[in-house]
């Protein structure tokens, strides 16, 4: 049986009773500290404030904010009243926000004023002009009929918006009777969290997760790191991701571990927070750890308190892993793998696993979860060392996609197995290796981009007859977005026109870096567009060059002259490709960029062009070699 069948609110209150004066959340840059008791009092006050403005059980509340202190307050307050917290990517622009607010049927939206150069309030007022004339809590929007309240995180007053201070004051005026009644009516299997993911269809889908899903997953994630009340977790990853709110907040809650969140990632702030708060654990994707290790002030900080943590999001190069273990003292660092639909972690390494297991596998399955590898065509279960689709079943499987029954049925079969869309294999010790990507996804610097969503968006631009979006190799990000557009007759749009069209409407990481205009697309005999040929065309036209080295065809190694390497959809950044160079000029760093993803292989200064170097890829079809 899973660890607990309590709601998040009930479990939290148990921890308050057990550890009332133990620090739960610390914001070192703001010198804010909350014990379990203090934080619970603030959460209850906000929960009553939400009830006072008409937010209750089952209502959807979106939160569009960085890791500000009240992010977690809203997380627990909504959980206590049974409202569903819908997390919103801070990079979203008006196009994505409009889609999410409408698709999620948000009744309330919580937000900060801005993020970097994006003015959230301006975007909101442009999308909802009715805000300027409505009474707070009585919004009537033509675009968003379900949306009634907008809440600003802070004390500033804005027309048509509540602020958190006002909600706290409203909460002060109510006794606990209504709150206690609602808490008693909640079920651990109620949906309590929705996170949007692109998955296998074009537009993002709202993954519905319950108390039971994320509380239990958080417990086992923390258990793999051997968390206790003595641990202090530095959390620089976004709370709008499962990485932050489940691997971070839920893992800490279930073990009485102190949370030390950072509002935004900055390697210097991470190092400073670890030293100041004597953190024993730190989270991040490989590029975060690489940035911390490379910071010019790294040696000035005492990181000896560190012990464990999680590295996830992409494979970790072995050299980086060794440096994290040695220089950062994270000898017990773990690797985790999963997907939002699985709450999210399915597998995780253990604290005493070897470096090889931490860099070449994603660990063993968590307790109380079933995992199998199946032939994606026949559904037949495969054995040790056989490659197929990874599927899981258990307490962690989502409740479904919000208002998308067909897509839910495609992802979770009749027997309750969640199909990951990832290609994998398992070894004799029960450790899983992700070997390919079945989903047609572009991964740019750790961010998933689904081509279909961008294609639908670009179709709305005047003059576009047809559009295809593909991933194009990039030395910095691994992949970037490339758009191939067929213009309508008479249209004279330019690349700059297309980029201008996307600039304020979609998240910056989704914007096409390359726009190419074509008259037709390469197709198969059956009429299917050959996207790999579009990538080849892009590399040729853009002059993307690389030295290379070997194409693996039918398990045979064929040495080729310097060419261009393109990592196809099958490539899952497994980190197992090997470069052989007789002069030792090429190293692993040439095949794994700073973000942890394979990219084009480039010869270093000193290469004599002997063409005796080559690349070995363990996955036939994962690499395309374009000969000059």
pLDDT of residue 316: 82
Last residue of one domain, picked from the residues 520, 542, 564: 542
Nearest to 167 by CA among 177, 152, 179, 181: 152
Same domain, 412 and 467: no
Q: Is residue 2 part of a domain?
A: no
pLDDT, tens digit (0-9, with 9 covering 90-100), for 532-548: 788 888 988 888 753 23
Last residue of one domain, picked from the residues 389, 422, 455: 422
Quote the CA–CA distance of 144 and 279 in Å, as a whole number: 43
Q: Is residue 271 part of a domain?
A: yes
Q: Is residue 427 part of a domain?
A: no
The boundaries of the domain holding residue 524 are: 442-542
**End-to-end CA gap in the chain:** 59
Residue 103: give its domain's CATH number. Answer: 3.40.50.12780
Same domain, 494 and 591: no
Q: Is residue 1 part of a domain?
A: no
Number of domains in the chain: 3
Same domain, 584 and 504: no
Same domain, 522 and 562: no
Give the pLDDT band of residue 530 (cuts 50, 70, 90). Answer: confident
pLDDT of residue 198: 60
Same domain, 261 and 358: yes
Last residue of one domain, picked from the residues 488, 523, 542: 542
Q: Are 596 and 314 in contact (CB under 8 A)?
A: yes
Q: Is residue 432 part of a domain?
A: no
Give me the chain's average pLDDT, please: 86
pLDDT, tens digit (0-9, with 9 covering 90-100), for 169-220: 999 988 899 999 999 999 999 999 999 986 434 578 999 999 999 999 999 9
Q: Are 578 and 615 in contact (CB under 8 A)?
A: yes
Give the pLDDT band of residue 396 (cuts 50, 70, 90). Answer: very high
Quote the CA–CA distance of 14 and 3 in Å, as a whole number: 14
Quote the CA–CA distance of 300 and 420 in Å, as a whole number: 43
Please report which helix (H) or strand (E) contains residue 363, including its range: none
Same domain, 385 and 495: no
pLDDT, tens digit (0-9, with 9 covering 90-100), for 221-259: 999 999 999 999 999 999 999 999 999 999 999 999 999
pLDDT of residue 554: 30
Q: Is 196 helix (H, G, I), strand (E, B) or coil?
A: strand
Q: Collect all residues with Cβ–Cβ distance below 8 Å to 109 and sequence separation of at least 6.
A: 61, 62, 63, 64, 101, 124, 147, 149, 150, 151
Residue 448: give its domain's CATH number. Answer: 3.30.300.30
Residue 615 reports pLDDT greater than 80: no
Q: Is residue 431 part of a domain?
A: no
pLDDT, tens digit (0-9, with 9 covering 90-100), for 437-496: 565 578 787 777 878 788 889 988 999 988 999 888 887 777 889 999 999 989 999 999
**Crossing angle of the two packed helices 177-185 and 69-81, in degrees rounded to 10:** 70
Same domain, 341 and 473: no
Q: Is residue 510 part of a domain?
A: yes
Q: Are 484 and 534 in contact (CB under 8 A)?
A: yes
Radius of gyration of the chain (CA): 25
pTM, rounded to two decimals:
0.76
Beta strands at 308-311 and 332-338: parallel, antiparallel or unpaired: parallel
Nearest to 316 by CA among 295, 337, 299, 296: 337
Q: Is 81 helix (H, G, I), strand (E, B) or coil?
A: helix
Q: Collect all residues with Cβ–Cβ distance below 8 Å to 80 and sequence separation of at least 6.
A: 8, 9, 43, 44, 47, 179, 182, 183
pLDDT of residue 503: 87
Beta bridge partners of 474: 478
Same domain, 370 and 270: yes
Tell me the average pLDDT across 79-92: 97
Burial 174-195 (b: 16+ CB within 10 A, else e): beeeebeebbeebebebbbbbb
Same domain, 97 and 112: yes
Q: Is residue 435 part of a domain?
A: no
Same domain, 409 and 448: no
Higher pLDDT, 597 or 93: 93
Beta bridge partners of 558: 551
pLDDT, tens digit (0-9, with 9 covering 90-100), for 299-343: 999 999 999 999 998 778 788 899 999 999 999 999 999 999 999
Tell me the average pLDDT across 492-506: 92
Same domain, 560 and 521: no
Same domain, 171 and 79: yes
């Amino acid at each position: 049986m899973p660890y607990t069948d309590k709601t998040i609110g009930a479990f939290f209150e148990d921890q308050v009773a057990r550890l009332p004066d133990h620090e739960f959340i610390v914001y070192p840059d703001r010198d804010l500290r909350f014990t379990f008791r203090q934080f619970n009092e603030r959460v209850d006050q906000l929960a009553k404030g939400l009830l006072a403005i008409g937010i209750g059980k089952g209502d959807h509340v979106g939160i569009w904010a960085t890791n500000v202190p009240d992010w977690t307050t809203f997380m627990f307050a909504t959980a206590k009243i049974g409202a569903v917290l819908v997390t919103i990517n801070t990079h979203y622009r008006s196009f994505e926000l409009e889609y999410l607010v409408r698709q999620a049927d948000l009744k309330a939206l919580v937000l900060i004023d801005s993020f970097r150069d994006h003015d959230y309030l301006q975007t909101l007022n442009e999308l909802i002009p009715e805000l300027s004339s409505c009474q707070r809590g009585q919004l009537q929007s033509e675009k968003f009929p379900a949306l009634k309240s907008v809440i600003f995180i802070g004390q500033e007053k804005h027309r048509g918006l509540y602020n958190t201070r006002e909600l706290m004051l409203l909460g002060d005026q109510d006794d606990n009777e209504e709150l206690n009644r609602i808490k008693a009516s909640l079920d651990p299997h109620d949906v309590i969290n929705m996170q949007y993911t692109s998955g296998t269809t074009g537009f993002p889908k709202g993954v519905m997760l319950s108390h039971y899903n994320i509380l239990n997953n958080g417990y086992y994630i923390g258990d793999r790191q051997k968390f206790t009340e003595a641990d202090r977790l530095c959390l620089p990853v976004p709370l709008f991701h499962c990485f932050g709110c489940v691997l971070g907040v839920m893992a800490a809650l279930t073990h009485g571990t102190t949370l030390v969140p950072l509002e935004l990632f900055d390697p210097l702030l991470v190092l400073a927070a670890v030293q100041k708060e004597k953190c024993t654990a730190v989270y991040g994707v490989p590029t975060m750890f690489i940035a911390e290790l490379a910071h010019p002030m790294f040696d000035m900080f005492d990181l000896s308190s560190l012990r464990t943590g999680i590295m996830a999001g992409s494979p970790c190069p072995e050299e980086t892993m060794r440096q994290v273990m040695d220089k950062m003292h994270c000898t017990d660092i773990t690797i985790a793998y999963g997907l939002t639909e699985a709450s999210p972690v399915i597998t995780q390494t253990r604290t005493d696993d070897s470096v090889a297991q931490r860099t070449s596998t994603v660990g063993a399955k968590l307790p109380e979860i079933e995992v199998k590898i199946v032939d994606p065509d026949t559904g037949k279960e495969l054995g040790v060392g056989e490659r197929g689709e990874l599927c899981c079943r258990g307490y962690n499987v989502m409740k479904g996609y919000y208002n998308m029954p067909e897509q839910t049925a495609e992802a979770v079969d009749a027997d309750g197995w969640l199909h990951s869309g990832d290609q994998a294999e398992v070894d004799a010790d029960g450790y899983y290796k992700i070997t390919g990507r079945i989903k047609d996804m572009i991964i740019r610097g750790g961010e998933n981009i689904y081509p279909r969503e961008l294609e639908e968006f670009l179709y709305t631009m005047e003059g576009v007859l047809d559009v295809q979006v593909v991933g194009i190799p990039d030395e910095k990000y691994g992949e970037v977005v490339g758009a191939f557009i067929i213009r309508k007759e008479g249209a004279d749009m330019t690349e700059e026109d297309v980029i201008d069209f996307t600039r304020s409407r979609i998240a910056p990481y989704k914007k096409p870096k390359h726009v190419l205009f074509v008259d037709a697309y390469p197709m198969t005999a059956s009429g299917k567009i050959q996207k790999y040929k579009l990538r080849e065309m892009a590399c040729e036209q853009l002059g993307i060059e690389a030295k290379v080295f070997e194409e693996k065809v039918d398990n045979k190694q064929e040495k080729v002259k310097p060419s261009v390497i393109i990592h196809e959809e099958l490539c899952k950044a497994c980190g197992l490709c090997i470069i052989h160079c007789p002069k030792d000029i090429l190293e692993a760093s040439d095949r794994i960029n700073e973000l942890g993803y394979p990219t084009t292989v480039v010869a270093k200064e000193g290469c004599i062009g002997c063409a005796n170097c080559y690349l070995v890829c363990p996955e036939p079809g994962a690499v395309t070699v374009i000969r000059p």
